[in-house]
Amino acid sequence: MIAKSLLFTAAAIGLAVPAHAHNQWLLPSTTVLSDTQQSVTVDAGASTAPFEPDHNAMNVDGVKVWAPDGSMGAVENAARSKYRSTFDVKIDKPGTWRIGMENAGISGSFKVDGEPWMVGRRRGPPPGAPAAGGAPAPAAAVSAAAPAGPEGAAPGGRPRIDPSHIVASVDDIPANATDLDLTETMGRNEFFVSAGEPSETLFKPTGKGLEFVPVTMPTDLVSNEPGQFRFLVDGQPAAGLEVEVIPGGRRYRESDGTQKLMTDDRGILTVQWPMAGMYWLNASVTDAKPSHPKASKRRMSYTATLEVLAP
């Protein structure tokens, strides 16, 4: 279920973070269709409150579409404005579709000859390699692009890394690197659309990472009935996992309506829906079981947009 090419490649899109930060969200126009002659229009953005486009548009290049039979659908009519992106998905097969993004990658810091380096989005020359024009790669670890804090620290106390000291892949880390502090990240951000009768073909767990397995089908949610979802980590029940559930439309309420819930010993989360509408669900967990030998930690996240209908 956690595939490297899906939602976002970790470096390209990033993970969802706690609700006080700018969270990424996907907002479909609907999740329940009566037939296969329709399309769904999706807004995509990042903001403090889910589904309120007031911060940044999301890069939707990594969005994937899984049809109920396991074949791949397509994103159509993608466009980007200042605060949100939009795209369409043609729903032309019966059953439940899965639409969203995945990431899998490794990020973090290390040192070469005492100088700080990091694995991140921008690629500099490998340590010790010549830069453009044949000159040696810059040795300075503190960027001159912005004022530094005490001892070259960026705001918040983190070291400011020169862009030439950023490599794109863990494979670019040299053998003489020291002080490795690397985290493997795995995440998914998605929603579901059912045309006609829902289907369960896309919900088979893989046994890898943090996975979401519905007990209640995610396109069968109604406000007068609880919804239940099972969370697994490496195929085992994710007991005691904290999950945030936030309804949309915060600007029209005195409270944001956030529920912080916990899975039971079987990894099952039970959610009571206070009203009909769109909900943003997010869970994350960190452990010390990365699959890559150079990483010391693993951070997993899961985000879903769920539509709850009136009874």
For 114-142, how does the pLDDT look when each residue is reduced to its tens digit (9 = 90+)? Answer: 999 999 764 445 555 544 444 344 333 33
- As a whole number of angstroms, the distance between CA 86 and CA 58 comes to 9
- Answer whether residue 171 is part of any domain: yes
Same domain, 213 and 99: yes
Same domain, 96 and 112: no
Specify the range with the lowest mean pLDDT, choosing from 9-18, 174-183, 281-290: 9-18
Task: Please give the residue that has the higher pLDDT: either 247 or 159.
Answer: 247
Specify the range with the lowest mean pLDDT, choosing from 15-29, 195-209, 219-233: 15-29
Same domain, 32 and 165: no
CATH number assigned to the domain comprising residue 290: 2.60.40.1930
Same domain, 289 and 203: yes
Average pLDDT over residues 140-152: 39
Phi and psi angles of residue 141, each rounded to the nearest 5 degrees, phi first: -100, -10
Same domain, 113 and 211: no
Quote the pLDDT of residue 76.
Answer: 97
Examine the pLDDT at 213 and tell me if it is beyond 60.
Answer: yes
Specify the range with the lowest mean pLDDT, choosing from 20-29, 54-63, 80-89: 20-29
Same domain, 300 and 169: no
Average pLDDT over residues 257-281: 97
Quote the pLDDT of residue 129.
Answer: 52
Same domain, 268 and 201: yes
Examine the pLDDT at 17 and tell me if it is beyond 90.
Answer: no
- Answer whether residue 213 is part of any domain: yes
pTM: 0.81
Average pLDDT over residues 160-178: 86
Same domain, 143 and 206: no
- Answer whether residue 190 is part of any domain: yes
Examine the pLDDT at 261 and tell me if it is beyond 50.
Answer: yes
Quote the pLDDT of residue 159.
Answer: 57
Same domain, 233 and 156: no
Domain residues for the domain of 115 are 107-182
Quote the pLDDT of residue 127.
Answer: 53
Quote the pLDDT of residue 168.
Answer: 85
Examine the pLDDT at 155 and tell me if it is beyond 50.
Answer: no
Average pLDDT over residues 145-171: 62
pLDDT above 90 as % of the chain: 70
Mean pLDDT of the chain: 85
Average pLDDT over residues 173-190: 94
Q: Count up the domains in the chain and report the number.
A: 2
The last residue of one of the domains, among 130, 160, 182, is 182
- As a whole number of angstroms, the distance between CA 72 and CA 95 comes to 14
**pLDDT tens across 73-83, in order?**
999 999 999 99
Closest CA to 306 of 192, 187, 188: 192
Quote the pLDDT of residue 58.
Answer: 94
Examine the pLDDT at 230 and tell me if it is beyond 80.
Answer: yes
Examine the pLDDT at 9 and tell me if it is beyond 50.
Answer: no
- As a whole number of angstroms, the distance between CA 144 and CA 241 comes to 42
Task: Please give the residue that has the higher pLDDT: either 72 or 150.
Answer: 72
Same domain, 120 and 167: yes
The last residue of one of the domains, among 182, 209, 239, is 182
Same domain, 123 and 190: no
The last residue of one of the domains, among 116, 150, 182, is 182
- E strands, the chain, are 23-28, 32-33, 38-47, 56-57, 64-66, 75-80, 85-91, 95-112, 115-119, 166-167, 178-195, 210-214, 227-233, 236-237, 242-247, 259-262, 268-271, 277-287, 297-308
